[in-house]
Amino acid sequence: MTKPLPAAPRRSRCSRGFVHGLLASASLAALPLSLTTAARVAAQEPDCDEDQPYIVGFVIDAGTESPLASVLVWVESSPQASLTTDNGRFLICDVRSGSHLVQAARLGYDTLAVQVEVDPSVEPVRLRMEPDPIVLEGLEIVTDRFERRRRAVAVPVRAFDQEELARSNYWSAAEFVDMQAGAITVRCTTGTSVTDTCVYDRGRIVRPRIFLDEAPLLGGWDELASLPTSHLYMIEVYRRGAHIRAYTHHFMARAAKTRLAPFPLWF
Protein backbone atom coordinates (compact mmCIF):
# COMPACT_ATOMS: atom_id res chain seq x y z
CA MET A 1 0.00 0.00 0.00
CA THR A 2 1.42 3.37 -1.02
CA LYS A 3 1.24 5.96 1.72
CA PRO A 4 0.78 9.67 0.92
CA LEU A 5 3.50 12.12 1.77
CA PRO A 6 2.81 14.59 4.58
CA ALA A 7 1.05 17.76 3.45
CA ALA A 8 4.11 19.92 4.08
CA PRO A 9 7.40 19.53 5.94
CA ARG A 10 7.22 20.96 9.43
CA ARG A 11 9.68 23.75 10.02
CA SER A 12 9.54 23.53 13.76
CA ARG A 13 9.04 21.06 16.57
CA CYS A 14 7.30 21.63 19.85
CA SER A 15 9.23 20.31 22.80
CA ARG A 16 6.83 20.89 25.68
CA GLY A 17 4.43 18.44 27.25
CA PHE A 18 5.29 15.51 25.01
CA VAL A 19 4.42 12.32 26.80
CA HIS A 20 1.92 11.60 29.54
CA GLY A 21 1.24 8.35 31.36
CA LEU A 22 4.43 6.50 30.36
CA LEU A 23 5.89 3.80 32.54
CA ALA A 24 7.76 5.27 35.47
CA SER A 25 10.87 3.39 34.43
CA ALA A 26 10.89 4.82 30.90
CA SER A 27 12.78 8.09 30.86
CA LEU A 28 12.42 10.67 28.10
CA ALA A 29 15.39 12.84 29.04
CA ALA A 30 16.88 13.26 25.58
CA LEU A 31 20.18 15.09 25.93
CA PRO A 32 22.10 16.91 28.65
CA LEU A 33 19.84 19.94 28.22
CA SER A 34 16.30 20.63 29.28
CA LEU A 35 14.43 20.50 26.00
CA THR A 36 11.69 22.58 27.56
CA THR A 37 14.06 25.52 27.03
CA ALA A 38 13.98 24.93 23.28
CA ALA A 39 10.40 25.29 22.17
CA ARG A 40 11.16 24.89 18.50
CA VAL A 41 13.83 22.90 16.68
CA ALA A 42 14.56 23.62 13.04
CA ALA A 43 16.27 20.89 11.00
CA GLN A 44 18.37 22.23 8.12
CA GLU A 45 16.56 25.56 7.81
CA PRO A 46 18.14 27.15 4.70
CA ASP A 47 17.59 30.85 5.38
CA CYS A 48 16.17 33.38 7.80
CA ASP A 49 13.71 36.09 6.85
CA GLU A 50 15.22 39.23 5.41
CA ASP A 51 16.59 41.65 8.03
CA GLN A 52 16.01 39.06 10.76
CA PRO A 53 18.85 38.79 13.32
CA TYR A 54 20.42 35.34 13.34
CA ILE A 55 23.31 33.20 14.55
CA VAL A 56 25.06 30.94 12.05
CA GLY A 57 28.03 28.67 12.52
CA PHE A 58 29.55 25.20 12.44
CA VAL A 59 30.07 22.49 15.04
CA ILE A 60 33.19 20.34 14.87
CA ASP A 61 34.85 17.57 16.85
CA ALA A 62 37.59 19.21 18.91
CA GLY A 63 39.87 16.21 18.44
CA THR A 64 39.47 15.35 14.77
CA GLU A 65 38.30 18.75 13.46
CA SER A 66 35.57 16.90 11.52
CA PRO A 67 32.05 18.37 11.27
CA LEU A 68 29.36 17.00 13.60
CA ALA A 69 25.87 16.37 12.26
CA SER A 70 22.65 16.26 14.31
CA VAL A 71 24.01 18.41 17.13
CA LEU A 72 21.26 20.32 18.92
CA VAL A 73 22.25 24.01 19.16
CA TRP A 74 20.10 26.49 21.05
CA VAL A 75 20.15 29.99 22.49
CA GLU A 76 19.43 30.22 26.20
CA SER A 77 17.37 33.40 25.89
CA SER A 78 15.37 32.26 22.84
CA PRO A 79 12.83 29.50 22.08
CA GLN A 80 14.70 28.79 18.83
CA ALA A 81 17.01 25.83 18.29
CA SER A 82 18.71 24.14 15.34
CA LEU A 83 20.04 20.72 14.36
CA THR A 84 23.35 20.80 12.52
CA THR A 85 23.45 19.54 8.94
CA ASP A 86 25.83 16.92 7.55
CA ASN A 87 28.59 19.54 7.26
CA GLY A 88 28.03 20.69 10.85
CA ARG A 89 26.21 23.93 9.95
CA PHE A 90 23.53 25.42 12.17
CA LEU A 91 21.32 28.48 11.76
CA ILE A 92 19.18 30.06 14.47
CA CYS A 93 16.82 32.79 13.29
CA ASP A 94 14.96 35.57 15.06
CA VAL A 95 17.56 36.21 17.76
CA ARG A 96 17.68 39.73 19.11
CA SER A 97 20.93 41.65 18.71
CA GLY A 98 23.45 41.53 21.52
CA SER A 99 25.37 38.89 23.41
CA HIS A 100 23.81 35.44 23.94
CA LEU A 101 24.78 32.16 25.53
CA VAL A 102 24.75 29.50 22.79
CA GLN A 103 24.75 25.85 23.85
CA ALA A 104 25.28 22.63 21.91
CA ALA A 105 24.62 19.00 22.86
CA ARG A 106 25.04 15.61 21.27
CA LEU A 107 25.22 12.18 22.83
CA GLY A 108 28.86 11.21 23.29
CA TYR A 109 30.11 14.79 23.68
CA ASP A 110 30.37 17.23 26.56
CA THR A 111 27.65 19.87 26.41
CA LEU A 112 29.16 23.14 25.19
CA ALA A 113 28.23 26.71 26.20
CA VAL A 114 29.80 29.80 24.61
CA GLN A 115 28.96 33.51 24.57
CA VAL A 116 28.17 34.75 21.07
CA GLU A 117 27.59 38.27 19.74
CA VAL A 118 24.73 38.63 17.25
CA ASP A 119 26.09 40.82 14.49
CA PRO A 120 25.69 40.20 10.71
CA SER A 121 29.25 41.40 10.13
CA VAL A 122 30.71 38.73 12.42
CA GLU A 123 32.17 35.54 10.91
CA PRO A 124 30.22 32.28 11.41
CA VAL A 125 30.66 30.81 14.89
CA ARG A 126 32.82 27.70 15.23
CA LEU A 127 31.82 25.47 18.13
CA ARG A 128 34.36 22.83 19.11
CA MET A 129 32.83 19.96 21.09
CA GLU A 130 34.97 17.74 23.29
CA PRO A 131 34.19 14.03 22.88
CA ASP A 132 33.46 11.81 25.86
CA PRO A 133 35.66 8.79 25.01
CA ILE A 134 33.93 6.47 27.48
CA VAL A 135 30.45 7.18 26.09
CA LEU A 136 31.59 7.14 22.44
CA GLU A 137 33.38 3.82 22.85
CA GLY A 138 30.44 2.41 24.77
CA LEU A 139 27.98 3.55 22.10
CA GLU A 140 29.98 1.77 19.43
CA ILE A 141 29.96 -1.44 21.47
CA VAL A 142 26.27 -1.24 22.37
CA THR A 143 25.03 -0.32 18.88
CA ASP A 144 27.03 -3.24 17.50
CA ARG A 145 25.29 -5.53 20.02
CA PHE A 146 21.90 -4.23 18.92
CA GLU A 147 22.83 -4.84 15.30
CA ARG A 148 23.91 -8.42 16.06
CA ARG A 149 20.61 -8.99 17.85
CA ARG A 150 18.71 -7.76 14.79
CA ARG A 151 20.69 -10.09 12.52
CA ALA A 152 19.91 -13.03 14.80
CA VAL A 153 16.12 -12.87 14.41
CA ALA A 154 14.40 -14.68 11.57
CA VAL A 155 11.91 -11.91 10.74
CA PRO A 156 12.15 -8.73 8.65
CA VAL A 157 13.56 -5.82 10.66
CA ARG A 158 14.47 -2.21 9.91
CA ALA A 159 16.45 0.11 12.19
CA PHE A 160 16.55 3.91 12.09
CA ASP A 161 19.21 5.98 13.84
CA GLN A 162 19.05 9.40 15.49
CA GLU A 163 19.99 11.31 12.34
CA GLU A 164 17.21 9.70 10.27
CA LEU A 165 14.74 10.43 13.06
CA ALA A 166 15.89 13.99 13.73
CA ARG A 167 15.83 14.99 10.06
CA SER A 168 12.51 13.42 9.21
CA ASN A 169 9.39 15.50 8.66
CA TYR A 170 7.52 13.46 11.24
CA TRP A 171 7.00 14.77 14.77
CA SER A 172 6.06 11.53 16.49
CA ALA A 173 7.54 8.05 16.49
CA ALA A 174 4.16 6.65 15.40
CA GLU A 175 4.08 8.92 12.35
CA PHE A 176 7.62 7.89 11.47
CA VAL A 177 6.90 4.17 11.75
CA ASP A 178 3.64 4.50 9.84
CA MET A 179 5.17 6.43 6.94
CA GLN A 180 8.81 5.35 6.79
CA ALA A 181 9.13 1.83 8.16
CA GLY A 182 6.87 -0.09 5.81
CA ALA A 183 4.10 -0.61 8.36
CA ILE A 184 0.55 -0.89 7.08
CA THR A 185 -1.66 0.51 9.81
CA VAL A 186 -5.39 -0.10 10.01
CA ARG A 187 -8.14 0.48 12.54
CA CYS A 188 -8.56 -2.42 14.95
CA THR A 189 -11.92 -4.10 14.40
CA THR A 190 -12.26 -6.37 17.46
CA GLY A 191 -11.63 -6.24 21.17
CA THR A 192 -10.92 -3.29 23.40
CA SER A 193 -7.55 -1.70 24.01
CA VAL A 194 -5.83 1.56 24.89
CA THR A 195 -5.11 1.93 21.20
CA ASP A 196 -7.34 1.44 18.18
CA THR A 197 -4.42 1.19 15.72
CA CYS A 198 -3.40 -2.22 14.41
CA VAL A 199 -1.03 -3.38 11.67
CA TYR A 200 -1.08 -6.05 8.98
CA ASP A 201 1.28 -8.91 9.84
CA ARG A 202 1.49 -11.91 7.52
CA GLY A 203 -2.09 -11.53 6.35
CA ARG A 204 -3.53 -10.87 9.82
CA ILE A 205 -4.56 -7.71 11.64
CA VAL A 206 -2.66 -7.56 14.93
CA ARG A 207 -2.08 -5.09 17.72
CA PRO A 208 1.58 -4.04 17.69
CA ARG A 209 3.79 -4.88 20.67
CA ILE A 210 5.68 -1.70 21.53
CA PHE A 211 8.64 -1.22 23.86
CA LEU A 212 10.39 1.91 25.08
CA ASP A 213 13.91 1.49 26.50
CA GLU A 214 13.39 -2.29 26.73
CA ALA A 215 10.18 -1.91 28.80
CA PRO A 216 6.66 -2.60 27.44
CA LEU A 217 4.86 0.60 26.52
CA LEU A 218 1.47 0.05 28.16
CA GLY A 219 -0.24 2.77 26.15
CA GLY A 220 0.67 1.03 22.90
CA TRP A 221 0.29 2.98 19.69
CA ASP A 222 -1.30 5.97 21.45
CA GLU A 223 1.82 6.45 23.58
CA LEU A 224 4.02 5.98 20.52
CA ALA A 225 2.04 8.79 18.88
CA SER A 226 2.93 11.12 21.76
CA LEU A 227 6.63 10.21 21.67
CA PRO A 228 8.62 12.82 19.67
CA THR A 229 11.30 11.62 17.27
CA SER A 230 13.64 14.29 18.69
CA HIS A 231 13.78 12.31 21.96
CA LEU A 232 14.90 9.10 20.27
CA TYR A 233 18.30 7.67 19.49
CA MET A 234 16.97 4.67 17.58
CA ILE A 235 13.83 2.80 16.49
CA GLU A 236 13.74 -0.88 15.54
CA VAL A 237 10.72 -2.09 13.56
CA TYR A 238 10.18 -5.85 13.33
CA ARG A 239 7.67 -7.61 11.07
CA ARG A 240 6.56 -4.35 9.44
CA GLY A 241 5.37 -2.84 12.70
CA ALA A 242 4.01 -5.83 14.60
CA HIS A 243 6.89 -5.41 17.07
CA ILE A 244 8.45 -1.97 17.69
CA ARG A 245 11.31 -1.04 20.01
CA ALA A 246 12.27 2.62 20.62
CA TYR A 247 15.27 3.91 22.58
CA THR A 248 15.78 7.37 24.07
CA HIS A 249 19.06 9.30 24.16
CA HIS A 250 19.06 9.05 27.95
CA PHE A 251 18.76 5.25 27.87
CA MET A 252 21.54 4.91 25.30
CA ALA A 253 23.85 7.14 27.34
CA ARG A 254 23.37 4.85 30.34
CA ALA A 255 23.69 1.78 28.12
CA ALA A 256 27.00 3.08 26.74
CA LYS A 257 28.44 3.57 30.21
CA THR A 258 27.37 0.11 31.41
CA ARG A 259 28.14 -1.67 28.08
CA LEU A 260 24.57 -2.97 28.00
CA ALA A 261 23.90 -6.38 26.47
CA PRO A 262 20.33 -6.17 25.05
CA PHE A 263 17.80 -8.88 25.80
CA PRO A 264 17.56 -11.70 23.20
CA LEU A 265 14.39 -11.67 21.08
CA TRP A 266 12.28 -14.60 19.90
CA PHE A 267 9.47 -14.46 17.36
Per-residue pLDDT of the chain (267 residues; tens, 9 = 90+): 444 434 333 333 333 232 222 222 233 343 444 443 333 455 544 577 777 788 999 999 999 999 999 898 999 877 778 889 889 999 988 888 889 999 999 999 999 999 998 876 778 999 999 999 999 999 999 999 999 999 999 999 999 998 888 778 888 999 999 999 989 999 887 665 555 899 999 889 999 999 999 999 988 999 999 999 888 999 999 999 999 999 999 999 999 999 999 999 988
pLDDT at site 191: 60
Q: Check: CB of residue 40 under 8 Å from CB of residue 79.
A: yes
State the Cα–Cα distance between residues 213 and 252, nearest whole angstrom: 8
State the Cα–Cα distance between residues 263 and 213, nearest whole angstrom: 11
Q: What is the DSSP letter of 239?
A: G
pLDDT at site 198: 93
pTM of the model: 0.75
Compute the C-alpha angle 187/189/190, nearest 5°. 135
Q: Check: CB of residue 171 under 8 Å from CB of residue 8.
A: no
pLDDT at site 112: 95
pLDDT at site 209: 95
State the Cα–Cα distance between residues 120 and 52, nearest whole angstrom: 10
User: What does each C-alpha distance from 3 to 156, 183, 195, 228, 242 come to in angstroms?
Assistant: 20, 10, 21, 21, 18
User: What does each C-alpha distance from 137 to 39, 133, 144, 171, 255 come to in angstroms?
Assistant: 31, 6, 11, 30, 11
The letter for the amino acid at 146 is: F
- Buried-state track 169-207, b at ≥16 Cβ within 10 A, e below 16: bbbbbbbbbbbbbbbebeebeeeeeebebbbbbeeeeeb
Q: Are strands 215-216 and 209-212 parallel, antiparallel or unpaired?
A: antiparallel
Kindly list the structural domains of the chain, giving each domain's residue range(s) and its CATH number in brackets, ordered by start. Answer: 35-129 (2.60.40.1120), 133-258 (2.170.130.10)
End-to-end CA distance of the chain: 24
Q: Check: CB of residue 7 under 8 Å from CB of residue 175.
A: no
The SS3 of residue 212 is: strand
pLDDT at site 217: 93
